[in-house]
Amino acid sequence: MIPGKFITLEGIDGAGKSTQLTWIVELLQRAGLQTVVTREPGGTALGEQLRALLLDKTMTMHAETETLLMFAARREHLDKVIIPALSQGQWVISDRFADASFAYQGGGRGLNVDKLSILEHWVQGELQPDLTLYFDVPVEVGMQRVSQIKNVDRFEKEQADFFQRVRAAYLDRARQFPDRIKIIDSSQSLAEVKAAVEQTLKDVLNHG
């Protein structure tokens, strides 16, 4: 039995999940919990090198190559960071996890979902996040936010139709796993998003 909790943050580029990350950690620490903050792809020395390749906007690669690299980084992430922290009773907060693969590589790139499910089971077994906060925002809003970034990465430079597919895949995952994936309307004001996040986390803290 793993005593820690595993929380993941998901959303299309520009959804604002990274903005909420500090606030989430603050809330958990205020409740007296030890936290580990990490991200995907990345989180380990090897994972960060794979992240650099995956996000390099000058790089081209087959959708299956991209997917395999994502899951390779995830395997290291689980082994080196996530599982050790959870086993020590720490709460792990990860900016993206496996739902992102189903959304970006499955929805966005059109990769066969059965292949993703095989990789998911192979790499993480039965391990799933205890809670996933999916920050949902209309694609045009997300893209408008991303347009403020000077140096976009390989995913951020994708077109609207790509992000429409990614968003649809995320919403489909949320319908499949409503107990785990909680939808936060990220088109609201920062204060309203913050309040929604706080209420969701309080529910988890109060009900274990």
Q: What angle do CA 71, 181, 7 make, to 5 degrees?
A: 65
**Which amino acid is it at 37?**
V
Report which of 7, 50, 13 is spatially closest to residue 159, judged by C-alpha positions.
Answer: 13
Phi-psi region of 17 (alpha: psi -120 to 50; beta: other; left: phi over 0): alpha
Cβ pair 156, 13 in contact under 8 A: yes
Q: Is 121 exposed, middle or buried (0-12, 13-18, 19+ CB in 10 A)?
A: exposed
What pLDDT, on the 0 to 100 scale, is given for residue 208?
A: 59
150: pLDDT strictly greater than 90? no
Q: How many domains does the chain have?
A: 1
Q: What is the pLDDT of residues 7-39, one digit of tens each?
A: 999 999 888 888 899 989 999 999 899 999 999
* Residue 159 belongs to domain with CATH number: 3.40.50.300
Rounded-to-10 torsion of CA 169, 170, 176, 182: -170
Q: Is residue 99 part of a domain?
A: yes
Q: What is the pLDDT of residues 165-199, one digit of tens each?
A: 999 999 999 999 999 999 999 999 989 999 999 99
Q: Is residue 186 part of a domain?
A: yes
pLDDT tier, 152 (very low <50, low <70, confident <90, very high otherwise) = confident
User: Bridge partners of 94?
Assistant: 8, 38
Report which of 109, 149, 139 is spatially closest to residue 12, judged by C-alpha positions.
Answer: 139
pLDDT tier, 1 (very low <50, low <70, confident <90, very high otherwise) = very low
Over the range 25-62, which residues count as b (16 or more CB within 10 Å of their CB) and which as e?
A: bebbeeeeeebbebbbbbbbeebeebbeebeeeeeeee
Distance CA 22, CA 16 (A): 12
Q: Is residue 1 part of a domain?
A: no
**Region 116-144 average pLDDT:** 95
Which has the minimum average pLDDT: 57-71, 159-173, 193-207? 193-207
Domain ranges, residue 166: 6-207
Q: Is residue 179 part of a domain?
A: yes
Using the Cα atoms of residue 18, residue 19, residue 24 and residue 25 in order, give the sign of their dihedral: positive
Q: Find the DSSP H helices in the chain.
A: 17-30, 45-55, 63-77, 83-87, 98-100, 113-124, 139-146, 160-176, 190-207
